[in-house]
Amino acid sequence: MSSPFDPYAEQHKALNGPGDQRPTALQIIEDNKLFQAWPDKVVLITGATSGIGIETARAMYATNAQVFLMVRNPAKVQPIVADIISTTKGTGTIEVIQMDLDSLESVKKAAKEFLTKSSKLNVLINNAGA
């Protein structure tokens, strides 16, 4: 039996890869009534160009937050951003900032750019692989 602290425990018992019964990030947002609930929040996500990073960005967009994607290759993420905006319910915003984690100068430059666009950060999701 599931408790309030592990509402998805049963779905995680049978892990069969993509398409199994585990909830998506978007489903968790919906289950917790966070759809369009964060219009005043700022979210920064690293590693949003593949896999779970894309789905995390999609879920944060659905909250109506201002979402910043820190990516090494902005051209690679543009179709992803377009897909999120066109297929996801939500009216948040997504902004892309170039940042290569292999370069301290790039990280500093990205941080400065972020600070010119927002004076606050509510949620930081470090998803970029090492």
Pairing of strands 42-46, 66-71: parallel
What is the chain's percent helix, strand, coil content, to nearest 5?
40, 15, 45
**Domain spanning 24-126: which superfamily?**
NAD(P)-binding Rossmann-like Domain (3.40.50.720)
Q: What is the value of pTM for the model shown?
A: 0.86
What confidence score (pLDDT) does residue 4 get? 62
User: For the chain, what percent of residues have pLDDT higher than 70?
Assistant: 90
What is the rounded CA–CA span in Å between residue 66 and residue 43? 6
Containing 124, the helix (H) or strand (E) segment is strand 123-126
Is it the case that residue 73 has pLDDT exceeding 80?
yes
What confidence score (pLDDT) does residue 130 get? 56
Highest mean pLDDT among 12-26, 37-51, 110-124: 110-124
What confidence score (pLDDT) does residue 110 get? 97
Is it the case that residue 129 has pLDDT exceeding 80?
no
Q: Which tops the pLDDT comparison, 122 or 48?
A: 122
30-72 confidence digits (pLDDT tens): 988 999 999 999 999 999 898 889 999 999 999 999 999 999 9
Model confidence band, residue 9 (pLDDT cutoffs 50, 70, 90)? confident
